[in-house]
Amino acid sequence: MRETVDIMIAGGGVAGLAAAAAFGSAGYRVLCVDPAAPVTESTAQGADLRTTAFLQPSVPVLQAAGLWERLAPHAMPLQVMRIVDAGGPEPVARSTHDFDAADLSDQPFGWNLPNWLLRREFLARMAELPDVRFEPGIAATDLLTRESEAIVTLGDGRRIAARLLLAADGRHSRMRAALGINVQTFRYGQKALAFAVTHDLPHDNVSTEIHRSGGPFTLVPLPDRDGTPCSAVVWMESGPEIARLQTLSDTRFDEEMNTRSCGLFGRLQRASALTVWPIIAQIADRFDGERSALMAEAAHVVPPIGAQGLNMSLADLKVLLDLARPETLGNAGMLRTYHQRRWPEVRLRVAGVDMLNRASMASAQPLRDARAAALNAFYSLRPVRHGLMRLGIGMR
């Protein structure tokens, strides 16, 4: 049996669901499949407890998809990005640099939202769109392409013919492999713990990265929980160190977490389960194939520094939406232009985040001192500081 759609999306992660809502809102017939069912409650088994800081340029993409009006009431503005160096012999803050969004515009840098809530709201939006179907529990297993169409075989044996396949099936993308597209991968031997904390002192809409060794310890503002200030934490360390942290009792974990946060928020109290994420950087050799486009983590992965990952994915989506025309959807010209517009920009961001991550991992004291000196130097030059802020949020 063969069905026909305009756009087949393999992968209903946050990026795939956003793409389905965006193309559905633009009037295309879309089918999105994913072997896993999205978890839409914070306390449910398998909930994605990460948060996403959506930077300014992502908001129009979410607005066009009819998503932003659903997300805005839950979004926590990020006004200041604070970088704290705690790389001296003792775990104390030895220098602090604030990057204030007010230096660039009257808008915050971005808005932070929990990933489980994104899934809930994205699914609700898709249910409003008559031409969008989401089928959880089904994988895209095989792919055959020809000049006029991509034919995707699903796990239940159905064959779907689409004018465009969007491969949003994550970093181990099966669709990318079926297209014969290779990736370049950078490994750090590093993992991240993601969880929520409450704390004594208010966060004042400041996102704080504390650098010592092993990777950054980042706190991103969330709405208060029962009247107590709350933040999302991403704590990056070497794989063995993360494994050790996971085996600690709650009391020991809290002690180590409070040492690592240098007391900057008063006492931190863990307010969720711990989830663990392996850290790599990766870029596919091409983002286009016959009748197919790679997007999001199927195309690129970066360590969670500077809130780049999903924002790069929404930038992919913006270019795809800009290029899509009913008469030329998925043709070679559209897809070549997509690759040409996105690949060089993504390559630069992957290289930039790779460099920042390696600097943050440094454990030798002279390297940590050199890192602090470099940050001081960049920060003290106003045009460089503003340029870095623009580059970081993807502002033109």
Ligand X SMILES: Cc1cc2nc3c(=O)[nH]c(=O)nc-3n(C[C@H](O)[C@H](O)[C@H](O)COP(=O)(O)OP(=O)(O)OC[C@H]3O[C@@H](n4cnc5c(N)ncnc54)[C@H](O)[C@@H]3O)c2cc1C
Summarize as ranges the residues that interact with ligand X (CB under 6 A). 10-16, 33-36, 50, 52-53, 139-140, 168-170, 174, 192, 194, 234, 277, 296-297, 304, 307-311, 313
Closest CB to ligand X among residues 193, 262:
193
Shortest separation between residue 94's beta carbon and ligand X, angstroms: 26
**Cβ proximity to ligand X, 9 vs 268, nearer residue:** 9
Give min distance, CB of 276 to ligand X, in A.
Answer: 9
Residue number, 101 or 372, with CB nearest to ligand X: 101
Residue 92 C-beta: closest distance to ligand X, Å: 25
Query: What is the sign, positive or negative, of the torsion defined by CA atoms of 77, 80, 85, 91?
Result: negative
- Token pair, residue 13, equals 């992660």
Q: How far apart are CA 266 and CA 199, in angstroms?
A: 6
Q: Which residue number, 36 or 248, has a Cβ lying nearer to ligand X?
A: 36
Q: Is 156 left (phi over 0), alpha (psi -120 to 50) or beta?
A: alpha
Per-residue CA distances from 90 to 199, 236, 262, 368, 375 (Å): 22, 19, 10, 12, 19
Nearer to ligand X, 232 or 335 (CB): 232
- Least distance from ligand X to the Cβ atom of residue 319, Å: 16
Q: How far apart are CA 34 and CA 359, in angstroms?
A: 36
Q: Which residue has its beta carbon closest to ligand X?
A: 13
- Provide the angle, in degrees to the nearest 10, between the axes of the packed helices 14-25 and 309-323: 30
- Give min distance, CB of 391 to ligand X, in A: 15
| Residue closer to ligand X (CB basis): 311 or 360 | 311
**Shortest reach from residue 381's CB to ligand X, in Å:** 27
Q: How far is the CB of 48 from ligand X (least distance, A)?
A: 7
Nearer to ligand X, 58 or 372 (CB): 58
